[in-house]
A and B are shown apart, each in its own frame.
Chain A
């Protein structure tokens, strides 16, 4: 098996208003990640970024004086988070690069708010133009007022409620437990935007309804910040190496990031991708010590727990009502607070938390050593010590 490791992680402060450009944030996060592993910029020969990122490769190459021999991009928003590491894994394993930096930088609160529609609607002749054929905001969605990711995921939540045979109150008990448990993790994480703000089920239920059945606490934060990771072919630097054991970057019809036309993310194709990811790492779901599951909304966690085989289809909600996703649960999830309560760095902060769990450095460290899952819809990673 090829030996490829994540050796460095770095981030900026997570805030609602950075007061700095996304370029400045990216440079700070990458500098911190290189310092974390003691690698000099001169040794970096690969970059992977999100196609959505406003900070392109040339800006990073200039900022650090890099001489690259490899760069690539991952598409479809948050699916790109584990996928950036999948690209780095492939590039290093094939010898196309020796040291690859993956990054994401966004002023997601002060500039481009993913919970708002202004970024996605064009204007013309006094009208707003809904373009493309994707949801939300595309031509087949925008004219009906489907304009935000939260609205699409509210429809996932309702369908999941029906298919799992839950009442609306039972669904809220499960999604509320996810929001409450992730907030408790955030309360112990000094980097978390919501660190000082406890949340209980009563507070969750009192949250403003955004799109039924989802409330404000079911939705990802909007955050200014950047995060970066360094990947190479050896255990370099002062920190424990985190080995990439398997990676998957799936794409099936209508499975782009916020899909309305295909199967739910606990459907048979997703389960088959999830099971392949674990098989490739020779890991069973019960072996996992913790997981980072992309939580654009709380319901994504329920669907991810089923899509990656942690619970059988339509069973995650009842299991979460009973056990939660906290430190004592069968599989602790999003132990930094996740997108709901730490920060929304488009999945990259979730990858960093998975690395910290494997290293034994999390602010909510799970006291067992073993494989950690990173899952974002049809893209995922298995990491091990």
Chain B
């Protein structure tokens, strides 16, 4: 018996978020930055939180950050991710400031502690796409 291919979980894109996803599909993290005050934020927004009239641009983040938190997901809440169990969800505070939700791969959770350095690059997301995922930055430990 062949099992059916599980559905993938894919992001809905909009005019606002298309630049983010164009980079993410290549394993890179694109962020918005304010040209007037330097603020960086995520998720994408139509204006700088410090001033709606400020001019904003997209740029490619360094892909470096620190582990804010993580969880090992053991219980399936949707059939689409049963094949990925158990998987590590992480919150990463990027060096540029914003926090990103991603998976943490190639990692033994017993090694994890607050604010460990991580790098982001293309890898397997639990929902079936290839997206930026975090790996422990062994060189920085």
Contacts from A to B (Cβ < 8 Å): 115-118, 121-123, 126-133, 135, 139-148, 150-151, 154-156, 158-159, 162-163, 208-214, 216, 253, 260-261
Beyond A151-B89, A162-B114, 5 additional pairs, beta carbon < 8 A:
A127-B10, A132-B12, A135-B101, A146-B89, A155-B89
Contact A128 B8 (CB under 8 A): yes
Residue among A143, A208, A213, A253 with the highest chain B CB neighbour number at 10 A: A143
Known interface pairs A209-B74, A260-B101; A145-B12 also in contact (CB < 8 Å): no
Contact A139 B12 (CB under 8 A): yes
Complex contacts, B73 vs chain A, CB 8 Å = 145, 151, 211
**Residue in A116, A126, A131, A135 whose CB lies within 8 Å of B12:** A131
**Residue in A117, A127, A209, A210 whose CB lies within 8 Å of B78:** A117
Which residue of chain A has its CB nearest to the CB of B13?
A139
CB 8 Å contact bits of B2-26 with A (1 = contact, 0 = none): 0000011111110001000000000
Q: How far is the CA of A132 from the CA of B11 in the complex (A)?
A: 9
Q: Is B121 an interface residue (CB 8 A)?
A: no
Q: How large is the interface on B (under 10, 10 to 19, 20 to 34, 35 or more residues)?
A: 35 or more
Q: How far is the CA of A132 from the CA of B73 in the complex (A)?
A: 22
Contact B74 A144 (CB under 8 A): no
**Residue in A130, A150, A213 whose CB lies within 8 Å of B9:** A130
Contact A253 B49 (CB under 8 A): yes
Which residue of chain A has its CB nearest to the CB of B78?
A117
Q: Is B30 an interface residue (CB 8 A)?
A: no
Contact A210 B9 (CB under 8 A): no
Contact B74 A147 (CB under 8 A): no
Return 23 A-B CB contacts under 8 Å, by A number: A117-B77, A121-B9, A127-B9, A128-B78, A129-B10, A129-B11, A135-B101, A140-B11, A143-B129, A144-B125, A145-B73, A145-B125, A145-B126, A151-B71, A151-B73, A155-B68, A155-B91, A162-B113, A209-B72, A211-B71, A216-B75, A260-B91, A260-B101
